[in-house]
Each structure stands twice: as structure tokens, then as C-alpha cells.
Amino acid sequence: MSPAPVHDDPADVLGPHALLASYCDDARWGLAVVRATVLEAAHPQIGAALIDNSTFVTHPWRRLRNTLLSTRRIMDADPDVRDREAARLNRLHARISGTDEAGRPYSALDAGARAWVVATLFESTVTLARLSGESLDGPSMERLYGEFRAFLALLEGNADALPPTVPEFWPYYDGMLARGLENTEAIRVILYKLFAHVPAPPVLRGRPAVWAVGRAVGGPAAAMVVVATLPESFRRQAGLADLPGAGALSRGLHLGTGVATRLLPKAWTRTGTVMGLLDPEGEELPAVLEALRGRTGQAAALIRLLTPDRADAGPRAGDGPAARSADRFFAEVLDQTGNGTLDWPDLASMAREIAGRLDLDAADEERLYDAYARWWRELLADLDADGDGRITRGEYAAAASSLAGPALIRLAEVLFATADTDGDGDISAAEHRALFRTAFGRDLDGRPDGEDARARCSRADFVRDFVAFMSGQRSSTAYDALLVQA
């Protein structure tokens, strides 16, 4: 890393030369993000927003992937890319607001809450660096802190909600731990539900048994490790049990991963590798990582070959264009937040996922959200029998067949128009990839047509496929990858 030039412009602290960029590029940083999420969740505003809006319990891998991608954009060399991503995050957060169970309003744009998010990320990065035996020295810590403040400034316009220097940061942090946090439901959901129920990552999909075994051991261990590294006062306040041996386990794990990071080929511990695993079909890895993706492909092939498999297993779910039962469609596709009912945050999360994938600008994003909102009103009008503003599984099952209303078709058309970036009336292979990140594969015709760059999808086909999928009449590999998996 070349010595970073000193700039007065806060935005220029970020970029590929930043200390933070090298952390983002290290797969271990994922642990810091998880740990920071637990601390974030204790903030009353953030906890409420997470419980109501976030899909991370049902789709944690997608969320991790999106977080990594977003961080990478924030660290881009081009300030325009950073500004664009910051604007996108702001739009995304602006849509997240409401009132919690105690009737207090919350908003993802709250300056104090956002400062706390950045503070926990900073503290987690520092703590995990210390635990893995690579403590930051004073100047590095100041520099990293400056970068985190620049990140906040990029989002907020200023970083006033965070103290200006590291020595002033710790009293703020301790003060928040002592007074600003609550024992929110979100903490428990993350620690116990997320780790215990985390679905298989894309690589291991199709091997549920292997994943279940790994998760049974790894889930509690992960929860234990995260809890053990949390500040003592926080644990006391949140009533988190102090498990004997957890501290040693966590230090051993961090030290072990630290050593492994040094011993393993450098590329293996890069976040890009992790993203490759999260997204084996992905097309987005930079060329440098192409070779690496081959490695993860090899590893996945080996895992599949070595894991026992029922010799005559029937076709797996989602393999064919078989109709999905209304119940399963509800659970797997519609109920994105996994709370058992269909409400606006479920549809908003679909819009959010698509807007993020296509990197839409503000106007297109608005159109997409509008289309989703119209569909939501249509669903409410058609399905919400008791008028409580939510659609339950039962209400859905009773009227599922009438789902393909005009607003859904309109939504399909809007989605088509936003995905058809060159506006030529067809979705090309590249445009299709941007949306589904897989090679062009029209599900209707059964056979994926991977290599053929000329393969195109017309507006009529696209709308028909989308409506058939969203109304639960047909499952689809492409839409499964977008909205069901991870």
C-alpha cells in the first residue's frame, strides 16, 4: 500500500488506498460486520428497523453479499461511484421508517443511529484486529477512524454525530453502551434465530444434510464467539450469558484465522473469494479473480462429490417448471422478511434487491417502487379479507389463483423497462445477467442456453414469465436465484 496522500477533502480519504479498503478485502472482516450488527441492533431505532424491514434472517447470504458489494463501491477509486452508492444507500434508508412496538417512531435516516452504525463497525474492526494479534497502532487507528468518519460524511454530508478524534470516541462509545442501548428483540433474533436457522449458502444448496450438520455445530459456536467478544457492560445489560470457555474459543478462532490468513494463498482469504462462494454463478468478479472463481468451483465440485447422496434422489425442488404449492410460494418468495405474513416491507425488499442489482438511478428506482406499491395495493384489495393491512398465509391460500392482476402485469412491464437498459425492446444476455447474475437461461424452454450471446428475451416473454412466477404458477431458476435463495 502506498502512503496515502493527506487530503483536506473528506471524500478523498476513501478509495482503494484506504486502510478500510484493505480490511474490506479481508474475508475475516465479515466477522466484524456480524459482530457490529449485534451492537447496532441494540440501538432502539436500528433494532426496530431491522425487525420490521430487514430480510437478513431469511436471506442472510444475500444481505452479506449486498453489504460487501456496497462497501466495495464506497471504496471505489472513482468519487462518482462512491457518491452514487451513497445516494443509493440514502434512498434505501429513506424508505425505512415506521413506529416500533412501543409506538416510538424510527427512521433509518436518523443521524444518531447512523453514527452508531459507523461507530460499531469501527470498534469491531479494531477489536477483531486486536484479537487476531494484529493490533492497530495509534496513527493507524486515527487514520482508520478518519476513514470511517469520511464514510459517515459521505452519507450524511457531515460527520458531526461522531466525535472528531479517537480519544474522544471511546467515551462516546462507552456512554452509548451504558445509556443509549436497549435489550432489543433484534439482538436475540440475530444471535439465536439467525445463527441457528441460517439457510445454506449457495455453494451448499442441494446438500441440506451437510449444511444442517455444519450449522448445528457452527451456529452456536458463531453466536458464542460473537457474544464473547462483545463488551462486558453490553453483555451484562443485554443479559447475554457468559459461557465458560467462549473467550478462549473466540481468541483461538481469531488467532487461528489470523494465522490462516498468513499461511493460505493470499487470494483465498480475499472477500472476493467469499463473494464467489456466495454467488457461484456470478459474473461480476473482476478478471483478476477469474482464476480464483475456478478454484471455488473446484472446491464446490469436490464437496459435492465427497458428500454422501441418496442414490436415487428425486428431482430437487425448483428443478423443473413444476408449480409450487401456494403455501411454499408464500414462504419462499412472498414473505421476504420471514415474519409469517405478507406486508409492504416484503415487497419493498424485493424492490430493494432489484434496484441494487441493476444499480438504478433515482428516477427508475422510484418507478420500480411505485409499481411494487401499486401491486401491494392490488394484493391488499384482493386478498386482505379481514382488512388488517397484512396478508396472512390463509388469506393468500384462499385467493392465490387470482393473483395475476393488472398491477402485477404493470410491474412486470416496469421491471422490463428498467432491465432493458439500452431500450431496444429486448432483454439481451448482458442485461439478463445484470438482473439475474446467471448466464442467459430462459426457463420456459427448459434448456439453458448459456453460451449464446444472441439469445434475447422479448417484452412479451419476459412479462409472461414474470407474471407466471410471481403469481406462483411456475417456479423459475432465475427468479429463485433473485428472490428465493440466500
Partner 1 sequence: MAEGPRGTPRHVACVMDGNGRWAAQRSLPRTAGHEAAEAAVIDTIEAAHGAGVEWLTLYAFSTENWGRPGGEVEFLMRLARRTVRRRALFLHARGIRCRFLGTGDPRIPPALARDMADLTELTRRNRRMTLTIALDHGGRRDIVEAARSLIRGGVPADQVTEHSFAGHLPHPDTPDVDLVIRTSGEQRISNFMLWQVAYAEWIFPGALWPDFRAADFRECLDTYRRRDRRFGGVRAPAASGKGPR
Shortest separation between residue 297's beta carbon and partner 1, angstroms: 6
Shortest separation between residue 473's beta carbon and partner 1, angstroms: 24
Is residue 282 near partner 1 by the rule CB under 8 A?
A: no
Question: Which is nearer to partner 1, 319 or 424 (by Cβ)?
Answer: 319
- Lookup: cell for 245: 470457555
Residues in the chain: 486
Contact 216, 198 (CB under 8 A): no
Shortest separation between residue 301's beta carbon and partner 1, angstroms: 4
Question: Which is nearer to partner 1, 112 or 265 (by Cβ)?
Answer: 265
Give the residue, chosen from 304, 367, 437, 464, that forms a contact with partner 1 under the rule CB under 8 A.
Answer: 304
Question: Which is nearer to partner 1, 431 or 480 (by Cβ)?
Answer: 480
Contact 393, 346 (CB under 8 A): no
CA angle 148, 149, 151 (to 5 degrees): 65
Question: Which is nearer to partner 1, 302 or 381 (by Cβ)?
Answer: 302
The residue with cell 443521524 is 111
Cβ neighbours of residue 37 closer than 8 Å, sequence gap 6 or more: 56, 120, 190
Contact 223, 192 (CB under 8 A): yes
Q: Which of 353, 415, 410, 341 has the alpha carbon at shortest distance from 380? A: 341
CA angle 343, 346, 350 (to 5 degrees): 145
Is residue 243 near partner 1 by the rule CB under 8 A?
A: no
Contact 407, 377 (CB under 8 A): yes
User: Phi first, then psi: what are they for 391, rounded to 5°?
Assistant: -115, 120
Is residue 446 near partner 1 by the rule CB under 8 A?
A: no
Instruction: Give the interface segment with partner 1, choosing from 106-114, 258-266, 304-312, 437-445 (CB under 8 A).
Output: 304-312
Give the residue, chosen from 214, 294, 340, 425, that forms a contact with partner 1 under the rule CB under 8 A.
Answer: 294
Q: How far apart are CA 480 and CA 485, in angstroms?
A: 6
Is residue 241 near partner 1 by the rule CB under 8 A?
A: no
Question: Which is nearer to partner 1, 302 or 444 (by Cβ)?
Answer: 302
Give the residue, chosen from 77, 301, 323, 385, that forms a contact with partner 1 under the rule CB under 8 A.
Answer: 301
Instruction: Give the interface segment with partner 1, choosing from 49-57, 62-70, 298-306, 349-357 (CB under 8 A).
Output: 298-306
Give the residue, chosen from 135, 165, 298, 401, that forms a contact with partner 1 under the rule CB under 8 A.
Answer: 298
Residue ranges in 28-67 that form contacts with partner 1 under rule CB under 8 A: none
Is residue 280 near partner 1 by the rule CB under 8 A?
A: no
Give the residue, chosen from 6, 217, 306, 363, that forms a contact with partner 1 under the rule CB under 8 A.
Answer: 306
Give the residue, chosen from 79, 219, 258, 297, that forms a contact with partner 1 under the rule CB under 8 A.
Answer: 297
Q: Is 426 helix (H, G, I), strand (E, B) or coil?
A: strand
* C-alpha dist (Å) from residue 167 to 56, 159, 163, 392: 34, 16, 9, 51
Contact 404, 467 (CB under 8 A): yes
Shortest separation between residue 388's beta carbon and partner 1, angstroms: 45
Question: Which is nearer to partner 1, 263 or 306 (by Cβ)?
Answer: 306
Residue ranges in 308-337 that form contacts with partner 1 under rule CB under 8 A: 309, 311, 313, 315
Amino acid at 374: R
- Lookup: cell for 61: 447470504
Give the residue, chosen from 302, 323, 362, 398, that forms a contact with partner 1 under the rule CB under 8 A.
Answer: 302
Give the residue, chosen from 6, 102, 287, 305, that forms a contact with partner 1 under the rule CB under 8 A.
Answer: 305
Question: Which is nearer to partner 1, 180 or 206 (by Cβ)?
Answer: 206
Is residue 287 near partner 1 by the rule CB under 8 A?
A: no
- Lookup: cell for 396: 393468500
Instruction: Give the interface segment with partner 1, choosing from 95-103, 163-171, 213-221, 297-305 (CB under 8 A).
Output: 297-305
Contact 162, 118 (CB under 8 A): yes
Q: How far apart are CA 144 and CA 419, in angstroms?
A: 38
Question: Which is nearer to partner 1, 3 or 308 (by Cβ)?
Answer: 308
- Lookup: cell for 385: 379479507
Cβ neighbours of residue 468 closer than 8 Å, sequence gap 6 or more: 404, 474, 476
Instruction: Give the interface segment with partner 1, choosing from 5-13, 98-106, 258-266, 303-311 (CB under 8 A).
Output: 303-311
Question: Which is nearer to partner 1, 243 or 291 (by Cβ)?
Answer: 291
Instruction: Give the interface segment with partner 1, choosing from 4-12, 268-276, 290-298, 431-439 (CB under 8 A).
Output: 290-298
DSSP letters along 135-157, please? PPPHHHHHHHHHHHHHHHHHHHS
Question: Which is nearer to partner 1, 174 or 451 (by Cβ)?
Answer: 451
Question: Which is nearer to partner 1, 283 or 386 (by Cβ)?
Answer: 283
Contact 375, 407 (CB under 8 A): yes
* C-alpha dist (Å) from residue 380 to 308, 370, 375, 393: 46, 15, 9, 13
Is residue 263 near partner 1 by the rule CB under 8 A?
A: no
Q: Which residues bind partner 1 (CB under 8 A)?
A: 294, 297-298, 301-302, 304-306, 309, 311, 313, 315
